[in-house]
């Protein structure tokens, strides 16, 4: 058990006011990723609740989700698949639309990114309204995968994301 992790991460997450729009307090995780020791501890802690849960694939969300999802997939010895904004994936894809804290968007997954029976962990840096993660879960289900859980670095618990996804499926290192 990595006892000081929460304090160490909290000290490094940088608050940026009015980004990307006025009124949004942006949680910048790049200082966490810049510290090699802290980065490793974060990856380990985000993977830990899902060890022994027979995860077969990690699906992570563009763009900051990739930075955490890929090392978590390696830590769990699973494959990795990127969920990307529309028009970014080269191969045949499935699509889901969603509304964001600030705007509307869509997400796509390659149609062979997840197979029927896959046990999937969805990873992102931050959970806000849950729209992004819920759309990712719908993509996984569309392809016949089972969403075992969600792992976030940060959860904004003054927003309804956690309940929306099913609180028992959601793990977050830090909550605000
Ligand atoms: C942020 C964050 C999550 C999403 C969470 O991504 O990285 O993916 O918003 O919001 P929600 O829970 O309200 O859906 P952003 O849209 O800023 O994309 P980016 O990582 O590509 O910059």
Which atom of ligand 1 has the smallest separation from the CA of 130?
12
102 alpha carbon to ligand 1 midpoint, in Å?
9
Beta bridge partners of 151: 123, 171
Ligand 1, residues at Cβ distance < 6 Å = 61-65, 100-101, 124-133, 161
Instruction: Tell me which DSSP letter residue 84 carries.
Output: B
Tens digit of pLDDT at every position of the chain (176 positions) = 788 999 999 999 999 999 988 998 999 999 999 999 999 999 999 999 999 999 999 999 999 999 999 999 999 999 999 999 999 999 999 999 998 766 788 999 999 999 999 999 999 999 999 999 999 999 999 999 999 999 999 999 999 999 999 999 999 999 99
Residue nearest to atom 3 of ligand 1 (CA): 126
The closest of 145, 114, 119, 147 to 133, measured between CA atoms, is 147
Tell me the ipTM for this assembly. 0.95
Domain boundaries, the chain: 54-175
The catalytic site residues sit at 64, 101
The dotted CATH code for 54-175 is 3.40.50.2020
């Amino acid at each position: 058990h990595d006892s000081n992790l929460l304090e160490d991460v909290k000290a490094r997450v940088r608050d940026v006011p009015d980004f990307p729009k006025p009124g949004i307090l942006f949680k910048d995780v790049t200082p966490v990723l810049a510290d090699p020791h802290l980065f490793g501890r974060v990856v380990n802690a985000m993977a830990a609740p899902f060890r022994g849960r027979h995860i077969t694939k990690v699906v992570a969300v563009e763009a900051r989700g990739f930075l955490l999802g890929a090392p978590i997939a390696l830590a769990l010895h699973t494959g990795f698949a990127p969920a990307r904004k529309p028009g970014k994936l080269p191969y045949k894809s499935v699509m889901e639309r969603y509304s964001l804290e600030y705007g509307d968007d869509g997400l796509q997954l390659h149609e062979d990114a997840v197979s029927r029976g896959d046990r999937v962990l969805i990873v992102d840096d931050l959970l806000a309204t849950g729209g992004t993660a819920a759309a990712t879960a719908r993509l996984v289900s569309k392809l016949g995968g089972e969403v075992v859980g969600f792992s976030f670095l940060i959860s904004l618990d003054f927003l309804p994301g956690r309940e929306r996804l099913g609180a028992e499926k959601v793990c977050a290192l830090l909550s605000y």
